[in-house]
Amino acid sequence: MSMSAGKGTAFVMKLVVTVLLIVAIGCGNDEPPQPRSAIGGPVADPNQTRLMSLLPEEAPCTIHVEGTGDVDIEEDYIPNVVACENGNAPMEALKAQAIQARGYIYYKIFVTGETSVVDSQADQVYSCDYATAEERHLEAARATRAEYLAWNGEVVAPFYVAGAIPANQNDGAPEDACHGAGGNDTTSTEQWVTYNAGKTGCDIDMSPLGWVPPDCNSNPQNRGCASQNGQSCLANRGWDHRDMFPYYYGEDIEVQRAGGECGGPWIEPTEHNLYCQDQSTDGWSCFDSSERVLCDGEIADEVETCPHGCSDGTCLDPPAPEEAFCANDADEDGWYCLDSTMRVQCQGGQPQATEDCTAGCEDDECAPVDETPLNTSQQNDGQQHNDQQNDSQQNDGQQNNGQQNDDQQPDEPLNNDEQHDDPPDDDQQPNGDEDSTSEADAFSLVTTSPGIEGGCSQAAGGSAPTSAIIAFVLLAFAAIRRDHLVP
């Protein structure tokens, strides 16, 4: 064997060993997730045909898995890939894994034009002996339904590998604590991880898992590579899955969502969501006679129970008491006591009239109002009130009489001939202090005193006896004064 032949044999042996090592990495029970192979990566060969992809308007529904057949991407392929690739990770890391797995499928379909994938690390592991898709893996797929990564208007092939297990995951800031440098790199895959936080455009580090051209725009699908162990660390430190992508793929990486029948957000097929999918407009509408639904697109955003019925998307107000009574409690048409103070007339289950029962309602009839005459005590109180009123009117009359006499006092004093030498009696007033009052004057006082004028009208109202008494008293008083004043 020649020296060149020996060298050729050695080269072939090294190549075989290298391929076997690549295939052998990963897929052990409870082992950390392993790196993707460079085979099938984003344009490893610069001469490979690459479709100038635009962002997909409609999400693909199925993908052909070699050895299995066509499978549903969202409900089957993505959950199983998540379970096999990084199934024990925290939920936010599982969501990141779902977007990365879907992004790789979109890259295959929309960039390379392929319609099938291999069930291995050559593409992605779909079936494995150590894990099966569980509810949490399905939840991660549904929470990110039809989402993928894009840059500069193109679909990205989001590389991911196991990476090193960070050494000090709880020390310092998460972006430092979850870095793989100095960590336990049991899979020797940390070398392909890129840390592109704060970087954009062609300043990012592209991963050697794909073609690295001098100008990053020549291969927009290669924006770096993520670490699965690092993503689990970031999730444990409270990061949202969307915040992990700029950490590995650059600050200008974007999360996009495809539309179409199999795109858009996942909608649970509940009866209310299915109802909203049949509605032409958003907003509140009556789902049935006892519920209304707030539709936001194809999703029932809110459901409200309407105890008293639903009409035109509005819950009806509670019925009036008489309406509820006639509809539910009236056995036949007629009057019924609604409560202790009101009765209602029902006809055909509807109220026709209501009546207030001042004295109460019994046996569907208003109780008669008590019209018993006032008792003796009430009569005495009324008589006492009249006596007080008469006394008040009499005093007012006397006061007015005195005031009028003062006004009639002569301006000039009496002359000497009219004066009396005899001293006045004890009950007489001095002539200089009082003037004489005639019966006509007294009558004038009676007819002009407050409370007496308009005597005819007051007599009709029952005050004539009082006016007569006051007039008699004033006339008598005037006569007495005249007898005392005239010698």
pLDDT at 451: 44
Residues 310 and 325 in one domain: no
Based on the fold, state whether residues 278 and 245 are members of the same structural domain.
no
What backbone phi and psi angles, to 5 degrees, belong to 252?
A: -95, 15
* 42, 177: one domain: yes
Q: Is 71 exposed, middle or buried (0-12, 13-18, 19+ CB in 10 A)?
A: middle
76 with 224, same domain: the answer is yes
Do 87 and 207 lie in a common domain?
yes
Q: Is residue 373 part of a domain?
A: no
* pLDDT for the residue 113: 92
Residue 198 domain-assigned (yes or no)? yes
CA distances from 294 to 298, 299, 303, 313, 317 (A): 10, 8, 6, 9, 19
Distance of CA 229 to the CA centre of its chain: 40
Instruction: Check whether residue 333 and residue 304 sit in a common domain.
Output: no
Q: Are 189 and 21 in contact (CB under 8 A)?
A: no
For the chain, what is the domain count? Answer: 4
Determine, yes or no, domain membership for 382: no
Bridge partner list, 255: 149
Q: How many CB atoms lie within 10 A of CB 377?
A: 8
| Residue 55 tokens, joined | 């962002």
127 lies in a domain? yes
3-state secondary structure of 62: strand
User: φ and ψ at 335, to 5 degrees?
Assistant: -90, 145
pLDDT for position 387: 53
Is 160 a domain residue? yes
pLDDT at 71: 96
Residue 441 included in any domain: yes
CA–CA separation, 43 vs 158, rounded Å? Answer: 13
> Within a domain: residue 147?
yes
Residues 176 and 201 in one domain: yes
Low pLDDT (below 50) residues in the chain: 1-52, 395, 397-400, 402-421, 423-440, 442-463, 486-487
Query: How far apart are the two ends of the chain, measured CA to CA in Å?
Result: 187
**pTM value?**
0.55
Q: Same domain, yes or no, for 211 and 295?
A: no
Structural domain range at position 327: 321-366
Do both 296 and 230 map to the same domain? no
- 258/264 Cα distance (integer angstroms): 6
Q: For residues 276 and 297, is the Cβ–Cβ distance under 8 A?
A: yes
Question: Comparing C-alpha atoms, which of 40, 42, 2 is closest to residue 22?
Answer: 40
360 in the same domain as 282: no
Look at residue 374 in the predicted model and tell me its pLDDT.
Answer: 57
Q: Are residues 91 and 154 in the same domain?
A: yes
Residue 109 lies in a domain: yes
* CA dihedral of 224, 227, 228, 229, whole degrees rounded to 10: -170
Looking at the structure, tell me whether residues 338 and 446 fall in a common domain: no
pLDDT value of position 483: 56
